[in-house]
């Protein structure tokens, strides 16, 4: 079991949802309005006048078998529009009740 946190531009909302569905990941938690900026480049997402775009974050705990497929899907989304911004972070989920 891996925890997967996807932080992405709001514009990708429907696509990320689609990727989760496609890979048969049922459970997730989503934050609608989150702010942040990339490590290297790209525009900040603050929801302000200067930086009006905003991010969303989805936290999903995924079976190891599904992880690679999902990451590939997400990469595809990111490649389709580099400037919008999408990042995924993976770490171990130790136990689930």
Partner 1 sequence: MKIYESAVKKPVTTALIFVAIVVLGLFSYSKLSVDLYPKIELNAATVMTTYSGASAVDIELNVTKRLETSLSTVSDLKKITSVSKDNVSLITVEFEYGTNMDEAVNDIRSVLDMQRNFLPDDCESPVVLKFSSDMMPIAFISANADVSSKALYKILEEKVANPINRIDGVASTSISGAPQREIQISTDPQKMEAYKISIEQIANLVAMENRNVPAGTIDVGSETFSMRVDGEFKESDEIENLIVGSFMGRNIYIKDVATVKDTLKERSTEIYTNGQRGATIVVQKQSGANVVEIADKINKELPEIQKSLPPDVKLDMVLDTSEFIKDSIGSLTETVLLAGLFVMIVVLFFLGRWRATFIIILTIPVSLIAAFIYLMVTGNTLNIISLSSLSIAIGMVVDDAIVVLENITTHIERGSRPKDAAIYATNEVAVAVIASTLTIVAVFFPLTMVSGLAGIMFKQLGWIVTIIIVVSTIAALTLTPMLSSMMLREDPKRSKAFQFFYSPIEKFLNALDRWYENILRWSVNHRLMVMILAGLMFVSSLFLVARVGTDFFPSSDNSQIGITIELPVGARVEQARKMNTYLYETWREKYPEIEILQTSLGQADGANVFLSMRSSGTHIISYTAKLSDPKDRDRDIFEISDEIRKDLINIPEIYRYTVSPGGNQGMGMGTGGTTLEMDVLGFNFDDAETVARQVASVMENTEGLRDVKLSREDYMPQFQVQFDRQKLAMNGITMTAAATVVRNRINGIITTRFREDGEEYDIVVRNDQKFRTTIDDIKNILIYNAQGKAIRLSELGSVIESFAPPSIEHLDRERVIKVTGTVYDRSLGDIAADVEREVAKIDKPNLIAVEMSGAIEEQQESFSDMFTLLLLVVLLTYIVMAAQFESFRDPFIIMFSLPFAFTGVFTALWLTGTTLSLIALIGAVMLVGIVVKNGIVLIDYINLNKERGASVKRSVVSGGKSRLRPVLMTTLTTILGMLPMALGIGEGSEIWQPMGISIIGGLSLSTILTLVVIPTVYTSFHAGDIKKKRKAWAKMLKLNKAKA
DSSP one-letter string for 13-75 = HHHHHHHHHHTT----EEEEEE-B--SSSS--B--SSSS---EEEEEEEE-HHHHHHHHHHHH
What's the closest the beta carbon of residue 26 comes to partner 1, in angstroms?
A: 24
Interface with partner 1: number of residues (CB under 8 A): 17
Q: Which of residues 58-77 bind partner 1 (CB under 8 A)?
A: none
Name which of 48 and 68 has its Cβ closer to partner 1. Answer: 48
* Contact positions with partner 1 (CB under 8 A) in 7-66: 10-15, 48-53
Chain contacts with partner 1 (rule: CB under 8 A)? 10-15, 48-53, 80-84
């Amino acid at each position: 079991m891996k925890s997967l946190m996807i932080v992405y531009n709001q514009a990708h909302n429907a696509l990320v949802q689609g990727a989760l569905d496609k890979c048969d990941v049922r459970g997730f938690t989503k934050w609608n309005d989150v702010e942040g900026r990339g490590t290297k480049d790209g525009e900040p997402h603050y929801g302000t006048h200067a930086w009006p775009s905003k991010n969303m974050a989805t936290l999903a705990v995924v079976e190891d078998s599904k992880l690679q497929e999902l990451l590939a899907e997400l990469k595809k989304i990111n490649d389709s529009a580099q400037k919008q911004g999408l990042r995924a972070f993976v770490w171990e989920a130790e136990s689930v009740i």
